[in-house]
Chains A and B, each alone.
Chain A
Amino acid sequence: MADRRTPLLTISGVTVRYGDHLALDRLDLTVHRDELFVLLGGSGSGKTTLLRAIGGFVRPQAGRILLDGADLSVLPPHRRPVNTMFQSYALFPHMTVAANIGFGLRQQGVGHAETRRRVEQMLALVRLEGFGTRRPAELSGGQQQRVALARSLAPQPRLLLLDEPFSALDENLRMETRAELVRLRRSLGISFVLVTHDQQEALTMADRIGVMRDGRMAQIGTPAVLYEQPADRFVAGFLGAANILTGIVAADGVTVLLPSLGAQVTAARPAAPGPALLALRSERLRIGGAGAPNGLDGIVTDIAYAGESLSVRVRMADGSELRVVRGLADGLASGAVAIGTPVRVGWEPDACILLPP
């Protein structure tokens, strides 16, 4: 296995402007060899533009895109050793599945017999043996998705770009396909850059995630780092829901005063003294946490049953609300606290995420 730390794709200062709109703003990014990098962002964040700039379909006004040290930005799409799996799959409707998968190989000058052999290999890889003579229109959505994947992998690109590859699949199939794609990528050793707006998808699949916002990288890191140590309020809110309270970090860096609640709590990781935001993940909070080092009193205002968990809203003295998610491992929902009950919400110091205001 290649070294994870070797850079494969280096993007520096890439700027793409559509009229007055700045789609990518002097963006820097390094994707390592043998990595599944996820570009996560809302619509208009520039994530798809970045993918298209790497693929060659968007020409940046400034900046460089290097693959293994060679400048890609001067090459037209058909000369770039990267392939794209399109969101709509873009399968050629007039060709058979085998001709679709073999298209890239034929362009590389691979002979008929060798193409046929490698198409068979790809079909086996995506578990579509025997489908080679079908037309794309005769396949289900999930099968089409696998053909699109096989087609983009067949020419053995150095980097595969995937644009929302699961968006057209239904929920159950999506879960299954995600896991399959991660396995497939590990076995092939090809680096993937995957674009999605789905934070769950990003967290479960990525080796590293780049959260994008307004054409810039808000934060880059592993899923755990982004989730547990988000850089700012935007990233904290984008990856998982978080309760946000306003506070002031004391001189010791770990004591946080919550003036509107007249309370103070302790964080595990020190932050710069001064005004700050305190983010608390719902699943790290407990109701009735009498023994917990940190705690706030409130009144239960709402209980929502979600099957595998219970979501409880607790209103604090200043009117703000905390959402507490309780897994049902400790008991069934029938034992839940009633609406209107005064409760104490408790948490550990390492559940405190301190963000700049």
Chain B
Amino acid sequence: MIFRRVMLAVPALWLLLMIGAPLAIVGLIAFAQPADGIPPYALGLSLDSLALVATDPLYRDALLRSLWVAGISTLICVLAGFPMALAISRAPARWQNVLLMAVMLPFWTGFLMRINAWIGILADDGWLVRLLGGHRLLFTDTAMYIGIVYTYLPFMVLPLYARLARLDPALMQAAADLGAPPRVVFARVILPLSMPGVAAGIGLVFIPAIGEYVIPALLGGPQAQLIGQVLWQEFFSNRDWPTAASVAVWLLMVLVAVPACVIGLGRLLFGRRLVAGQG
């Protein structure tokens, strides 16, 4: 009994230290006033920073643009990842692990290294630009999308694969047996039954993509900023911790609200059991 409690206390303590405490600190700073000094804020119960972030178009536009960029990137990941996951799940058993390994292989190299490699590939004097007839790529939205999709695609493929690999092949055979040609088998059986995997993949891609600031900074253009970059600047360049914390708080609230809507919509469209992951 005591052993059990101790064992349960370990993850609880971990969550408290690594998630609960930082959240509480960020929340506390969001209500504070900026000040000259170290740390650069005075604790209090001011709503100034939170209200500023909510009303100033700079933050609102950055947040909307982040949602848009993350949404488009997620959509591309779904469209590219689904065929990949389906192909891997249908491959002969001995090939499946090799192919999954290939999907995960990029993680073996440092993230910045890989983004720098993309800078080389997309550079104005690179072979890709020459191939495309001098059309600029680096420091454009296209480059940013390439970077984000490239980075997050494995997070879409893996949960989708896990779902598709578990689908009983007899279900597909039964559909074909009842007269369904392959495209109907896909639309009526495979697609609806893989929705929990799609939902998991969307969660794993969309949420981190919203806060992404390294890829847009390194590959994207200087024109419009994403919310992650704004947060970074408030914190490190302007040293305005309360505003930075307020951006973080608003972002977190959006990040909780969006998945809640996605799940709600999924339940509405595909039935409760399915989104709950039972299939």
A78 partner, pick from B180, B192, B193, B278, beta carbons under 8 A: B180
In the complex, A91 Cα to B177 Cα: how many Å?
Answer: 12
Contact of A135 with B by CB under 8 A: yes
Q: Are B176 and A92 in contact (CB under 8 A)?
A: no
In the complex, A80 Cα to B278 Cα: how many Å?
Answer: 32
> Interface readout for A109-147 with B: 1 if CB under 8 Å, 0 if not?
000000000000000000000000001010000000000
In the complex, A232 Cα to B159 Cα: how many Å?
Answer: 54
Contact of A76 with B by CB under 8 A: yes
Asked whether A92 and B177 contact (CB < 8 A) given A86-B170, A135-B273, A137-B273, the answer is: no
Contact of B274 with A by CB under 8 A: yes
> Interface readout for A139-179 with B: 1 if CB under 8 Å, 0 if not?
00000000000011001000000000000000000000000
Which chain A residues numbered 65 to 79 have a C-beta less than 8 Å away from chain B?
A: 76-79
Q: List, in ascending order, chain A residues with CB within 8 A of B174's CB.
A: 84, 86, 90-92, 151
Which chain B residues numbered 222 to 279 have a C-beta less than 8 Å away from chain A?
A: 270-271, 273-274, 278-279
Which chain B residues numbered 176 to 193 have a C-beta less than 8 Å away from chain A?
A: 176-182, 184, 188-189, 192-193
> Interface readout for A39-75 with B: 1 if CB under 8 Å, 0 if not?
0000000000000000111000000000000000000
Q: Are A155 and B278 in contact (CB under 8 A)?
A: no
Q: How many A-B residue pairs have CB under 8 A?
A: 70
- Within the complex, the shortest CB–CB distance from B187 to chain A, in Å, comes to 12
Closest residue of B by beta carbon distance from A52: B173
Q: Are B170 and A93 in contact (CB under 8 A)?
A: no
Which chain A residues numbered 286 to 342 have a C-beta less than 8 Å away from chain B?
A: none
Asked whether A104 and B192 contact (CB < 8 A) given A90-B173, A90-B174, the answer is: no
Q: List, in ascending order, chain B residues with CB within 8 A of A151's CB.
A: 174, 178
Contact of B56 with A by CB under 8 A: no
- Within the complex, the shortest CB–CB distance from A11 to chain B, in Å, comes to 18
Q: B-side binding surface: helix, strand, loop or mixed? A: helix
A93 partner, pick from B178, B181, B184, B193, beta carbons under 8 A: B193
Asked whether A84 and B177 contact (CB < 8 A) given A92-B189, A135-B273, the answer is: yes
- Within the complex, the shortest CB–CB distance from B266 to chain A, in Å, comes to 12
Q: List, in ascending order, chain A residues with CB within 8 A of B170's CB.
A: 86, 88, 90
Q: Are B178 and A83 in contact (CB under 8 A)?
A: yes
Contact of B26 with A by CB under 8 A: no
Q: Are A92 and B175 in contact (CB under 8 A)?
A: yes
In the complex, A92 Cα to B278 Cα: how many Å?
Answer: 13
Q: Are A107 and B180 in contact (CB under 8 A)?
A: yes
Q: List, in ascending order, chain A residues with CB within 8 A of B178's CB.
A: 78, 83, 103-104, 107, 151-152, 155
Interface footprint category on A: 20 to 34
In the complex, A77 Cα to B180 Cα: how many Å?
Answer: 9
Q: Are A88 and B168 in contact (CB under 8 A)?
A: yes
Contact of A21 with B by CB under 8 A: no
- Within the complex, the shortest CB–CB distance from B253 to chain A, in Å, comes to 33
Q: Are A57 and B271 in contact (CB under 8 A)?
A: no
Contact of A187 with B by CB under 8 A: no
Tell me the count of chain B residues lying within 8 A, CB to CB, of chain A: 24
In the complex, A292 Cα to B168 Cα: how many Å?
Answer: 58
Q: List, in ascending order, chain A residues with CB within 8 A of B270's CB.
A: 94
Closest residue of B by beta carbon distance from A108: B179
* Most chain B C-beta atoms within 10 Å of own C-beta, residue among A77, A88, A137, A155: A77
Contact of B171 with A by CB under 8 A: yes
Q: Are B271 and A55 in contact (CB under 8 A)?
A: no
Q: List, in ascending order, chain B residues with CB within 8 A of A93's CB.
A: 193, 273, 278-279
Closest residue of B by beta carbon distance from A94: B192
Q: Are B173 and A57 in contact (CB under 8 A)?
A: yes
Closest residue of A by beta carbon distance from B173: A57
Q: List, in ascending order, chain A residues with CB within 8 A of B188's CB.
A: 92, 103
Q: List, in ascending order, chain A residues with CB within 8 A of B179's CB.
A: 78-79, 104, 107-108, 155
Closest residue of B by beta carbon distance from A99: B188
* Most chain A C-beta atoms within 10 Å of own C-beta, residue among B176, B178, B184: B178
In the complex, A103 Cα to B175 Cα: how many Å?
Answer: 8
- Within the complex, the shortest CB–CB distance from A81 to chain B, in Å, comes to 9
Q: Are A92 and B180 in contact (CB under 8 A)?
A: no
- Within the complex, the shortest CB–CB distance from B153 to chain A, in Å, comes to 27
Q: List, in ascending order, chain B residues with CB within 8 A of A84's CB.
A: 173-174, 177
Q: Are B176 and A77 in contact (CB under 8 A)?
A: yes
Q: List, in ascending order, chain B residues with CB within 8 A of A57's CB.
A: 173, 177
Q: List, in ascending order, chain B residues with CB within 8 A of A104's CB.
A: 178-179
Closest residue of B by beta carbon distance from A87: B170
Q: List, in ascending order, chain B residues with CB within 8 A of A152's CB.
A: 177-178
Q: List, in ascending order, chain B residues with CB within 8 A of A137's CB.
A: 273, 278
In the complex, A86 Cα to B178 Cα: how many Å?
Answer: 12
- Within the complex, the shortest CB–CB distance from A200 to chain B, in Å, comes to 26
In the complex, A76 Cα to B173 Cα: how many Å?
Answer: 11
Q: Are A78 and B168 in contact (CB under 8 A)?
A: no
Q: List, in ascending order, chain B residues with CB within 8 A of A86's CB.
A: 170, 173-174
In the complex, A88 Cα to B174 Cα: how many Å?
Answer: 10
In the complex, A103 Cα to B189 Cα: how many Å?
Answer: 11
Closest residue of B by beta carbon distance from A55: B177
Q: List, in ascending order, chain A residues with CB within 8 A of B192's CB.
A: 94
In the complex, A285 Cα to B178 Cα: how many Å?
Answer: 50
In the complex, A93 Cα to B177 Cα: how many Å?
Answer: 17
Q: List, in ascending order, chain B residues with CB within 8 A of A94's CB.
A: 192-193, 270-271, 274, 279
**11 interchain pairs (CB within 8 A)?**
A76-B176, A78-B181, A90-B168, A90-B171, A90-B173, A92-B175, A93-B273, A93-B279, A103-B180, A108-B179, A135-B273
Chain A interface (Cβ < 8 Å from any Cβ of B) = 55-57, 76-80, 83-84, 86, 88, 90-94, 103-104, 107-108, 135, 137, 151-152, 155
5 new A-B pairs (CB below 8 Å) besides A80-B177, A93-B278, A108-B179?
A: A79-B179, A93-B193, A94-B192, A94-B271, A107-B179
